Each structure stands twice: as C-alpha cells, then as structure tokens.
Amino acid sequence: MHYYDQHMHTYFSPDSVEKFENYLEQSDKALVTTEHLDFFSPYQNQADVIPDFPRYTAKIEQLNKEYDNRVRKGIEVGFTYPDKDKIQDYLSGKDFDLILLSVHHNGQYNFMNIGNEDVPLTEHLNDYYSRMLQAVQEFPNANVLAHFDYGLRGYTVTVDELRQVEKKLLKVFKTAVQNELAFELNTKSMYRHGNAHLYEYAIDLYLSAGGKMFTLGSDAHKAEDYEFHFKEAAEMLKRHGVEQLVTFQQQEPSFVPIPQEKVTTK
C-alpha cells in the first residue's frame, strides 16, 4: 500500500471547482477528498458550508466503478464550540473514511484573514491554541489534526514566538494523541505560506507528546497541487526519525512506509 494525499478538495467544496477525474488521472493510488463543513454565526452573515452527502456518495459510487474502487470519502470539519452539536448531527450515520479537524474561524472572522495589525501575535496565539485545545477535546472522533498553523498564515511567526504557547500546544498534541488523531503536515502551509520552520518544531513537540501518526496533505483545491512538495515534507519527517505515515479507511488507521521516490516535487 502506498501513501496517498489525504487533504484535497473538489467542486463539492465552495472554494474549489476541481473534478475528481483530474486527481485520479495523476496516479493509480487511492484517492480521498476532504470537502469543507463549516457553520457560521449570524454575525458572519455567510451561508453554512455543508457537503451534499447523497450527491457526493453517488458520485463516488460511480467513480469507483470506473476507477477500480480507488475513491474514498472524506470531510474537513471546521470546528467551533457553538457548532459542535450541529457537526455531530451532520456526521451521524455517514460512512466517512477520513475526518479532518480544522480550526478556521471563531464565529466572527476567519483566522486566515487576520494579521498582527488586527490582533497582536501574542494575544492571537493564546486565543487560537485555546480554541484548538477545545476542538481536540470536544471532537474526539476526528482522525487528523489538519494544518495546526492555519491561524498563523496571515502572520510571520518565528519558532521562538510560537514557543510562547508551547505549554498550550503540548496540551493540544497530548489530547490529540489520546484521541488517536494523526498530525498533518499541510504542505500548502509549509511551502506556499512559508511555515515549514514551524513544522520542524511541531513535529518534535508532537513526538514528545507520544504521537506516532503522521499524514501529508496538500490541501489542493486544484489538481495541479496534488501531492504538492510531498518529497520535501517526507524528507523532513525522516530527519526527525519518522519512518511511517498513516492512511485512513473507514476511519481506521493503517501504517504505510514514507514515500521514497516517484512523488511529485512541484
């Protein structure tokens, strides 16, 4: 079994128009897409983002006939505490293979749209990782903690600055490990938003929390970003002594070797 990208979007997410086929044609491996689920507050005046599960399931059934049963079902849950019951209600009875846990917004603003001029970094770090701690505590049925640095994409953060909240981050990772969540190397964060150095630090912290499960996710919204910079991310993990990755089927993890070659290095 080969490792395959475990964070991708298609037209089942409102911020993507990509087709499954354009991903499928790039490899013979399994494919999973992780479509957005995000609820918003009345304050945000924005329509909830809810994948059309019957249509998604029907499309994947059709693709599985054409593409040798390669396609799996995934979802990226944007967690907020006020929405936790709505999230569980949506997931109830649905047979996802993979559930990503993300912290995208706080009911007022999207964390990617703010920077130091909006909320000073120290205040933001404390707030963001408090919310992430609440997310891993309150949503234990996720499989992967996605882009731990999502809320830092709009800032320029050094490892020393991130260390200000090391205690809190360690608690996030320990709780994630207890709940059997894998840690995602989000290659878009690392190599497009320039946060690879924060991953060097976080990998060791997650390992120190007893973590053993890692995934690579491109967060592709278009097919050309499939397995974006996977080779570099795999090399980084190897430097930290990690030899295996995990993939999820019916939410059960399986360990697979870290890809050695034949990976896209765009």
Residue 149 interacting with Zn ion (CB under 5 A): no
- Tell me which residue of 88, 90, 208, 194 sits closest to 149, measured CA to CA: 194
Say if CB 157 and CB 197 are below 8 A apart: no
Residue corresponding to tokens 């360990």: 255
Task: State both tokens at 20.
Answer: 């499954």
DSSP 3-state of 93:
coil
Task: State which residue, 219 or 227, has the beta carbon closest to Zn ion.
Answer: 219
Residue 97 interacting with Zn ion (CB under 5 A): no
Residue corresponding to tokens 């920077």: 115
- Tell me which residue of 38, 181, 179, 175 sits closest to 100, measured CA to CA: 181
Contact pattern for Zn ion over residues 63 through 82, marking x by CB under 5 A: -------------x------
Residue 187 interacting with Zn ion (CB under 5 A): no
Stretch that binds Zn ion, among 99-107, 110-118, 165-173, 233-241 (CB under 5 A): 99-107
Residue 215 interacting with Zn ion (CB under 5 A): no
Report in angstroms how near the CB of residue 185 gets to Zn ion at its nearest. 13
Report in angstroms how near the CB of residue 8 gets to Zn ion at its nearest. 8
Stretch that binds Zn ion, among 85-93, 96-104, 107-115, 232-240 (CB under 5 A): 96-104
Minimal CB distance residue for Zn ion: 102
Say if CB 13 and CB 20 are below 8 A apart: no
Handedness of CA 214, 201, 261, 228 (dihedral sign): positive
Report in angstroms how near the CB of residue 27 gets to Zn ion at its nearest. 19
Residue 102 interacting with Zn ion (CB under 5 A): yes
**How far is Cα 196 from Cα 187, in angstroms, rounded to an integer?**
8
How many residues lie near Zn ion (CB under 5 A)? Answer: 3
Sites for Zn ion among residues 3-22 (CB under 5 A): none
Report in angstroms how near the CB of residue 163 gets to Zn ion at its nearest. 24
- Distance of CA 166 to CAs 22, 114, 174, 181, Å? 40, 22, 12, 19
Among 5, 38, 83, 219, binds Zn ion (CB under 5 A): 219
Residue 218 interacting with Zn ion (CB under 5 A): no
DSSP 110: B
Give residues in contact with Zn ion (CB under 5 A). 76, 102, 219
